[in-house]
Chains A and B, each alone.
Chain A
């Protein structure tokens, strides 16, 4: 699939990714649909528009780096990879099965085009800082993008990393918080509230942009703004809806980590269109 700047085309890609997410998690009978669906526009806008990368040359030295720190949302990444031609599309439904390259959480041993093995929350931002500093030392224009879950921001290591990146002026780094307001045990505000989230990042020295994480033009505009910010990293506080695109999953904590039934899959695919 070709890269595009056209919001309509990107929306069509998002519909395909949502269909893949629902189908592959249903086939696997386990997985995390809610947080995969909330990150669709973020991942699609990055991979199909913003980021410089080449599926024909996955290890191109100057490629932009992407880390899905909230590794449990890997179906969204696997679908994008398959649509882009990094990995086989016809194997998506082997997710989580013995021998599949589509492991339960991202695993570079099975998909070398991934930049990191993730799944243990809290670690992706530190990795991203390392990759971004390496790019600067290498004189490379490469930029690094890290997607965090909102619940993940409760991890202490995130704040160690948040403190360091502005101090070291890591301005080729963009962090995106998929702020869908739900974590495994319930609503974030009831588990361990993060608000005021943008203010916290600003206090740590980040350029923070709050936006609708399902609006492709808003994401395009925020990534363009981030590219212009010098001497500090940028964080996008992407307000999203967990389970976005499937009415019975939206804002429903149940679908953090429960696979749809066959019947639910049919309903979901009808809704997504």
Chain B
């Protein structure tokens, strides 16, 4: 679906809402799907599943360690459990349980973290998850997904249920543009080239994919041809699409709503250095916690906008 033409970004719902809708659809199709939540079902949107399938919804209260363990036990009992909370709570508080009861024995547990990144906004840093991708990727055998819009979220929820093994899916609080047409195919581990380009490649995930598309549009107006790739699967990485971008464009900018110390960027850099080393720049959060403000104000202040992506592309090209 790569295109040189202007990309149409339409208004859409938050990926957490798309997760909730997909979960209801999945629950109707597969009676083995069980959902656990930790007193945040109205925020994570698992409340829809709870209303539709009350017998398969386990409210765990505010106890994420126990919830993850129960999820792993359900998986061992043949169920397909989705455990959900804010990313910062389910990944950070449940990390040891994810390690010992899900990753280590390779259990069929699905973990959905909502309100990820800094775009949760006013609630502030204690609720912001900026370490989750790094933590989840550090677990051997885990699949880590970060969908950019409602279409990719719905498709990847279904793909997660069909995939055996532990999966972490990252969702956001804020409404995000729709990028993909209905019916677009998504394969776990396969990136998608959204915009063709030859001068540099922007590799983005989650919220930053739309910003990357906008950046490519603004660069094109200045005569710079930037490729845009959506890496919705942060682990396992699509090495082939990364290596090809490195070989063909010789400059890569990686963009994420996450700490640069441990997110997509360092993982892509590893693949680039192992295949076709080239100039790289990184857009993300640099060694700090954010603060309370509106999502838009935070994305501006912490440099996660299309203009920041475009500047990084110019820096990368200048260093070629």
Contacts and interface: CB of A to CB of B under 8 A. Distances in A.
Interface of A: 61, 65, 107-109, 115-120, 122-123, 125-135, 137-138, 156-157, 160-161, 163-164, 168
Contact of A126 (B34, B70, B104, B105): B70
Contacts of B63: 157, 160, 163-164
Q: Is the interface of B mostly helix, strand, loop or mixed?
A: helix
Contacts of B97: 123, 126, 157
Given A117-B105, A120-B100, A163-B63, A134 B58 contact: no
A228 to B, nearest CB: 23
Contacts of B104: 107, 117
Listed residue (B60, B65, B69) with the most chain A CB atoms within 10 angstroms of its CB:
B69
A128 B73 CA distance: 6
21 contacts: A115-B76, A116-B76, A117-B100, A119-B100, A123-B65, A123-B69, A123-B100, A126-B69, A127-B72, A130-B76, A130-B81, A132-B73, A134-B76, A134-B78, A134-B79, A137-B34, A137-B56, A157-B97, A160-B65, A163-B61, A164-B61
A110 B58 CA distance: 31
B223 interface: no
Contact of B69 (A130, A132, A156): A130
A40 B58 CA distance: 35
Contacts of A135: 77
Interface residues of B, number: 31
A25 B157 CA distance: 46
B66 interface: yes
Contacts of A163: 61, 63
Nearest to B75: A130
B87 interface: no
Nearest to B62: A160
B6 to A, nearest CB: 49
Nearest to A112: B105
Contacts of B100: 117-120, 123
A130 B74 contact: yes
B77 A156 contact: no
Contact of A161 (B69, B77, B99): B69
A65 B81 CA distance: 19
A79 to B, nearest CB: 22
Contact of A164 (B56, B60, B76, B96): B60
Q: Is the interface of A mostly helix, strand, loop or mixed?
A: helix
Interface of B: 34, 55-56, 58, 60-61, 63, 65-79, 81, 96-97, 99-101, 104-106
B77 A134 contact: yes
Given A123-B97, A138-B77, A160-B63, A116 B70 contact: no
Nearest to A106: B105
B78 to A, nearest CB: 6
Contacts of B105: 107-109, 116-117
A138 B56 CA distance: 11
Given A109-B105, A133-B58, A126 B77 contact: no
Given A117-B100, A130-B73, A138-B77, A157 B58 contact: no
B53 to A, nearest CB: 11
Nearest to B31: A137
Contacts of A126: 65-70, 72-73, 97, 101
B222 to A, nearest CB: 54
B58 A116 contact: no
A128 B69 CA distance: 8
Contacts of A116: 73, 76, 101, 105
A107 B101 CA distance: 11
B102 to A, nearest CB: 10
B277 to A, nearest CB: 36
A61 B76 CA distance: 11
Contact of A129 (B55, B65, B73): B73
